[in-house]
Amino acid sequence: MRLNPDIRRSPVDARHASRRWKTAVVALVAAVTVACASVPGRPSVQQVKTQSGRFVDHSVTINGRVTTSWGIPLVGFNVYQVDDGTGEITVVSTERRVPGRGSEVEVKGKVEDVATLGGRPLGLHLREQRVRYR
C-alpha cells in the first residue's frame, strides 16, 4: 500500500511526536527508578526491623550466620535465626532441612509480622522462599 505523496506530515507534527516519545521514555525511567528505590532487595536486618512498615509483604534477601535453628514436629515448619551483624531475624521455613547453627546463608524471604501494637511489629519474621549455603 502506497501513501499519497501529497499527504505529508508537517514539521510541527513531527516535533510533537518526538516530544511525546521523549516524555514517555523519561516517565518510564522515573517510574522504574522510584519502584526500585522504594524497597531495597538487600537491606540489613536492622533496616527491616526499624522500618518494618516499608518491608512487610515484600521479599528481601539477608546474608548472615545462623545462630539457632529448631524444628517443630507434626506442625510442618521449622524456624531458625540469622544474624547479619546488625541484628537477628527469625526465618520460618516449610522445608524439611534447615541450616545448622553456624552455617553461612543467603536467605530470600517475604517479610511478615503477626500483629502491630502501638506502631511496633510483633512477631516480625521472614517466610523463607529460598536459602543458599555459602
pTM above 0.85, yes or no: no
Check if the beta carbon of residue 104 is closer than 8 Å to that of residue 118.
Answer: no
Residue 14: the pLDDT is: 61
pLDDT at 10 over 90: no
Alpha-carbon span 46 to 40, nearest angstrom: 13
Check if the beta carbon of residue 63 is closer than 8 Å to that of residue 134.
Answer: yes
Identity of residue 56 = V
Going by their DSSP bridges, the two strands 59-72 and 104-112 should be labelled as antiparallel
Which of 24 and 60 is assigned the larger pLDDT? 60
| Secondary-structure class of domain 45-133 per CATH | mainly beta
Which of 55 and 26 is assigned the larger pLDDT? 55
Which of 17 and 36 is assigned the larger pLDDT? 17
Alpha-carbon span 93 to 110, nearest angstrom: 11
Q: Where in the chain are the domains? A: 45-133
pLDDT at 117 over 90: no
pLDDT at 29 over 70: no
Mean residue pLDDT of the chain comes to: 82
